[in-house]
Structure 1
């Protein structure tokens, strides 16, 4: 059965569903230092969320292919709201991390159904353009989320920031219950795909690696930038809220630029252009970490340039990973998401360990001083992006 919605309505639903991820992460970024003071190391809750999100995708993907997108999507939105509500009233960092894990499981179901629905409705050629449009809308949500979280944290409490997640999830749940119908094809040539088919596809691995590399750099920014900007560089929570918000504005512009170029250029050409921005942004941050470790400007400008590349990589790689696997779209999205979060988790935890050192997350007085905790992982991610787009993807496409 096809989705009984006009294209514009589906696009709005798509951006709201994709926007659930920045709501779950960016909204409470300005609150991390306050949560750390009240409950303990707040970075724990973000890493637990990422771990639960990554692992649970391996289960959500097959369920989306077997049961359909709609029932899993509605269950995921309800569980997301429950997890957000529990986190709002958490009395310890352990309880907070537990409820964030529930949100991570729910987030996996939501994103898998949203991305699989794009493959259900659109061809491999149209998919990147539709995904770019949805991610442009996600950029608007990601722009507003940290600003709202900063205002709530500075003038009310970090708990109000988490309460906003509950309201968002309930609103989207009601809309999807009323407007979203099943998109999974009733019959697919060749039958239902398998995980083995996904993992044997060279094109899947190349595009999924690009998704993992670009998101790995951004995840480290999400994990460590609040402490760097607020604790080391002295910004207030409200002032810091403009940092991820400005990055989201740049990301929105970049996905729109990518969508425009996809009408005239291939997805490979677009991500190769994006790789140039990724490398340039990371290089600027490294220069800043060496010569101006106490300055905001090189770190922020480098982040903006890196995010331009991120806006090219995300829609192309997310659509590309499932382009050859319409019969196993749920499984392909699931494995791609798992690989992405595994890479982000390992990279983030490694850098956080060297950043925190002996004094823990509050002090951030480790071997990686200054702005290195943010600059180093983004540089490693940019190098991976360059290798994937210039060497691996061309070979996978020709094969």
Structure 2
């Protein structure tokens, strides 16, 4: 449970009459999972969307994902500061409402360009639930306990990307891709009602800062001057690039390289469940081993697996499907240990400005990952080699960044 604090101890967690722990975890997971749902439920529909608008370039279908992620990254820059000033709930409610409206625009979009613009708006508005969810968790918990709570959230959250493509395929059995956007809008409205009724305000008025350029500049200045926050944010974003490359390329790799056809959603779900296993592992071990021991070890393994996979893809012939899936499961398992721990490490020094810090961390990691994932996706050449190379390069680069932040000492306490 959160611990008590006096009003001046603003870096510490505070007591708030929040829902009971299982409901709280489910609520935070729902807020964060809306992003995964918005991406992965679209995967089976991408070729249909491309064909319905007469788009010639096959790789152009990836823009439905990429522009959403661009909007999601940019939007996160603003919502944290706004939630620090006006409170968590009003910002959350506005974001969910605009998201639902953007889904309806996608539903009736007369052209591919309008649909892409609406997806950009969807991403920007859905940044609010993600930022607010992390800020609320930081409002109530700190340190290893925050990492533990985030692992429970991730355990529930991971079920969504595992099942979302199958859900998208199920919707397509009874309608076309338009109904997917209708479903997304209804989900957003349901979450809006749930949080409006059950989630308390975790940012009390006495802690809200006036919204001024000086305060915003000071807050972001504090963030970028904090070695741990900046370094781990950049490292997370680069490692996340591998995950985004996989999401961008998955439909083409499974269907074109391995001719998976109707099995695509099942194969995607099996691989995604590896992250659920990682979240469960982390929730059980992080209090005992600590965020750095788990995160650093996972990052080393992430880079090594990427290197092995890249070497295998360079051999003559196509890698067997079970081997490819095994490589992907190992990558996602490692990433599932990296992200919650690195996020918690990044946020730990920023309790006074949790919302703004959540904005910065989320925007930077998402923006970096979206760009790197797009680069790999556009490099798709009919093989899985660009994807494997991306995992290796991004993992190695992320490890170098962590070594710089920790001054060459892994598994310990940061000097910065």
TM-score, structure 2 as length reference: 0.87
Matches within 5 A, 1:1-399: 2-39=16-53, 40=55, 41-153=60-172, 156-188=175-207, 194-236=219-261, 238-291=262-315, 292-293=317-318, 295-355=320-380, 368-393=381-406, 397-399=414-416
Unaligned runs of 5+ in 2: 1-14
Q: 1:288 to 1:163 in 2, by over 3 A?
A: farther
Give the deviation of 1:68 after TM superposition.
0.8
Give the deviation of 1:158 after TM superposition.
2.2
Give the deviation of 1:190 after TM superposition.
11
**Alpha-carbon distance in structure 2 between the residues aligned to 1:354 and 1:190:** 45
Give the deviation of 1:392 after TM superposition.
2.9
Question: CA deviation digits over 1:137-179, x for unaligned, max 9?
Answer: 1011222211111233356322233332122212111111110
Aligned length: 386
Contact 1:45 1:93 (8 Å CA) reproduced: no
Question: CA deviation digits over 1:48-87, x for unaligned, max 9?
Answer: 1111111121111210111111000011111111222221
Tell me the SS of whatever aligns to 2:200. Answer: coil
Tell me the SS of whatever aligns to 1:2. Answer: coil
**Alpha-carbon distance in structure 2 between the residues aligned to 1:190 and 1:26:** 37
Q: 1:4 to 1:229 in 2, by over 3 A?
A: closer
Tell me the SS of whatever aligns to 1:31. Answer: helix
**Alpha-carbon distance in structure 2 between the residues aligned to 1:294 and 1:306:** 16
**Alpha-carbon distance in structure 1 between the residues aligned to 2:51 and 2:312:** 29
**Alpha-carbon distance in structure 1 between the residues aligned to 2:241 and 2:332:** 12
Give the deviation of 1:100 after TM superposition.
0.7
Give the deviation of 1:259 after TM superposition.
1.2
TM-score, structure 1 as length reference: 0.90
Tell me the SS of whatever aligns to 1:5. Answer: coil
- The farther-off stretch of 39-48 and 298-307 is 39-48
**Alpha-carbon distance in structure 1 between the residues aligned to 2:200 and 2:176:** 38
Give the deviation of 1:4 after TM superposition.
3.5
Contact 2:295 2:341 (8 Å CA) reproduced: yes
Give the deviation of 1:185 after TM superposition.
4.1
Question: CA deviation digits over 1:103-150, x for unaligned, max 9?
Answer: 111111110000000000012231100111101110112222111112
Unaligned runs of 5+ in 1: 356-367
Contact 2:73 2:364 (8 Å CA) reproduced: yes
**Alpha-carbon distance in structure 1 between the residues aligned to 2:208 and 2:80:** 19
